[in-house]
Amino acid sequence: MSNQKSGEEKVKSYGAGAIKVLEGLDGVRHRPAMYIGSTGKAGLHHLVYEIVDNSVDEALAGYCDLIKVTINKDGSVTVVDNGRGIPVEPHPIYKKPALEIAVTKLHAGGKFEKDVYKVSGGLHGVGISVVAALSKLMRVRVKRNGKIYQQEYKIGKPLYDVKIVGEVDKDETGTEVTFYPDETIFSTTDFDFSVLAARMREIAFLNKGIKIVLEEEKTNKKEVFNFEGGLIDFIKWVNKNKDVLHKPIYHIKEKDKVVVEFAIQYNSGYQENVLSFVNTINTVEGGTHVSGFKTALTRALNNYASKNKMLKNEALSGDDVREGLAAVLSLKIPEPQFEGQTKTKLGNSEIKGIVDSITMDFLSEFFEENPSIAKEIVNKGLEAQRARNAAKKAKELVRRKSAFGFSGLPGKLADCSKTKAENTELFIVEGDSAGGSAKMARNKEFQAILPLRGKILNVEKANPVTVLSNEQISNLITAMGTGIGEQFKIEDLRYSKIIIMTDADVDGAHIKTLLLTFFFRFMPKIIENGNLYIAVSPLYRVRKRGDHYVYSDEELKSLQKEIGGAEVQRFKGLGEMNPEQLWETTMNPKTRLLKRVTIEDAAIADELFSKLMGEDVEARRQFIAEKAHEAQIDI
């Protein structure tokens, strides 16, 4: 995707008339979450993605192959590309420079002119204007026609007319955007290098040939992302800590102006990991493209298994054939329809059939030509089928047992009196001691307590039969009410908040990690739906003119002057607190602190869980060695 066209050709192909305007900027600052998802850390980083997406659109159109992202010392971010540069000529209707229109008007941009961009990402063309509206200062410099043009904006309003600030070679084109996020809008304005690196890596994987350079001035960190192998490199990276069964299976084809590209590689594990993208946007909730892909994969494998007499009775289910599957599906679509403002689910109905037919045609042929790979995958599916049937029998046995009791709920569960899920909470507590305190401390009307006996099973290393027949996990699943696997229904969740409450020590942290692994692998929808939380319990009680609770060592240090010789008690566990203390510090909705668990990047989360909780001891040892300097040892 090299930048081969001359400066003059590039400028002609993207003029002021290509900028179309749909509406004004009103409302962005009043409801920023509508446009960028949130005003927290995720929304802050979304600002960078929106600017980068504009550069990627230039790359998809064939005019850009280098993007530089810099986290500056002064807290701003600069994104530079070598694309055509935003047009600066007067807009044919608005008579102002097209650059000013693109930045100051919502839904203004080349994305709305089909001849300019065949496909594009970004938030329906609102990207740069939303970033401007949510920045206390933004500066845009454009290289076009041998000149450098500049304009600055304060919360979306121009500070002066577009002006020429320098000259460049006539063939040199591009756009440079620097913005300072508005701290009155965002809860944090500190950019995280690792969060940006994850997204930049993803973009580079999805667009082979693009070079993305990410730098942080304060720490001198620098990473260069450039993958000539594209999705093949992506799938190898996804599986790098796994034991793979075969070489990557790769295909790309265009049909009805839709480009379908995918890479598939199975590993010996039990988890399914399908990453999907549309115009480089991560569709974390899937959509019609994922449905078409999964349907075709299941059908192609069943056809091969049936033809080669590998099936005994029943066909392989979707869950069977996706056990141990790692896949990356990337589509380029002229006019995608996304459900939700932040683009997490594709809604175009025609895409399902297109992806289905392309995937089915290719895989049918591939399996015929590569029988050893096909048999390896089918056998893995058959093994999953046997495990599923065994688990089904175990579940039926549990159901039959519970039918003779008063309730199918686990005996250790102290349920709440409210029967509707709305505003109810389930605390998952480690041990009977903490469980006893929590039962006495809780508000019985809306808070339920489920104590766990010891550490639950590490589901990363166990097969599904072992997982489902484990008593602790069986109790957890039953208490949730959602079912699991193909039977999972988020609408049947019995509580609106699931809260993990463990001791603030090494054992507590381990139990917390084991529980997070379980939810991520077996009930990810509970995380995606925003139902999973972690309780934050205090580390210290300071007794000076009454009791004060301190939640971290840093907070204790900052209070040292005020505390003086006061009595400081270190809590070793939840069971040490009396019920009143536990209620006031950790369980009372009016005074407590809760952390909501989110999945910002599924690929990174999958890699981390595999590394920390999986079979690869060397990968875990290396991770610990790299991160040791960040650890705080509590003696």
- Alpha helices, DSSP H, located in 32-181: 33-36, 41-60, 98-104, 127-133
DSSP, collapsed to helix, strand or coil, labels residue 194 as: helix
214, 72 contact by CB (below 8 A): no
Using alpha carbons, list the distances in angstroms from residue 602 to 96, 326, 391, 521, 620: 43, 12, 27, 11, 19
Q: How many CB atoms neighbour CB 512 within 10 A? A: 19
Q: Which two tokens stand for residue 468?
A: 């489902």
Neighbours of 501 (CB within 10 A): 24
Longest dimension (CA), the chain: 84
CA nearest neighbour of 611 among 595, 633, 627: 627
Number of neighbours of residue 108 by Cβ within 10 angstroms: 26
The answer to whether 190 and 40 have CB atoms below 8 angstroms apart is no
In this structure, are strands 447-452 and 425-430 parallel, antiparallel, or unpaired?
parallel
CB 316 within 8 A of CB 336: no
Distance CA 409, CA 197 (A): 44
> CA-to-CA distance for 176 and 163, rounded, in angstroms?
15
Handedness of CA 55, 59, 64, 67 (dihedral sign): positive
d(CA 204, CA 225): 6
Structure tokens at 542: 């300071």
Three-state DSSP class for residue 448:
strand
Q: Ramachandran region of residue 366, left (φ > 0), alpha (ψ -120 to 50) or beta?
A: alpha
Kind of pairing between the strands at 273-278 and 258-266: unpaired
E strands present in 4-131 = 20-21, 66-71, 77-81, 108-109
The rounded distance, in Å, linking the Cα atoms of 182 and 504 is: 35
Instruction: With CA atoms as reference, report the closest residue to 241 among 204, 206, 267.
Output: 267
Both tokens of residue 169?
């070679």
Distance CA 607, CA 241 (A): 7
Q: 380: closest CA among 465, 267, 240?
A: 267
What is the chain's length?
635
The counts of H helices and E strands in the chain are 21, 26
- Residues taking part in catalysis: 430, 503, 505, 507
Cα–Cα distance, 102 to 100 (Å, whole number): 6
Residue 602 DSSP SS3 = helix
Q: What are phi and psi of 629, to 5 degrees?
A: -65, -20
Q: Which amino acid is at 213?
A: V
Classify each residue of 77-90 as buried b or exposed e, where b means 16 or more C-beta atoms within 10 Å of its C-beta: bbbbbbbbbbbbbe
Q: Which of 254, 240, 423 has its CA nearest to residue 326?
A: 240
